[in-house]
Amino acid sequence: MKRLINLYQLTLVSLLLLMSHPSFANRLEEAAMRGQSIVISIGQITAVIGVVLGGIALSIGMANIGRMVLMSGMIGAAATFGGPAIIDVVKEIFR
């Protein structure tokens, strides 16, 4: 039983050492950046869709719903297009 526990501990330590290697950390960083860019792309697409649907609703006579959807799309577009740009500007200022 003690040998089994020692083997388990050795396996766990080996796995932790292997997973903390810099090459794996680099892959995790790339995956995180890719995930962030995917989320930003989805936000930008939905903001544009909101603006288009709001404009369509306004043009066919649904003023209240169209105005709400259009303003939501505009706010979403400002956040998803402007947010990353502002963050990049602040990074460059404090670099």
Q: Give residue 68's pLDDT.
A: 92
Residue 61 φ/ψ region, left for φ over 0, alpha for ψ in the -120 to 50 degree band, beta for the rest: left
The per-residue pLDDT of the chain, averaged, comes to 85
Burial 67-92 (b: 16+ CB within 10 A, else e): eebbebbeebbeebeeeeeeeeeeee
Q: What is the pTM of this model?
A: 0.60
pLDDT digits (tens, 9 = 90+) for 31-46: 888 888 898 889 889 9
- Residue pair 40/80 in contact by the 8 Å Cβ criterion: yes
**Domain map of the chain by residue range?**
2-93
Query: Which residues are CB-contacts of 26 (< 8 A; sequence separation ≥ 6)?
Result: none
Q: Is the pLDDT of residue 53 over 80?
A: yes
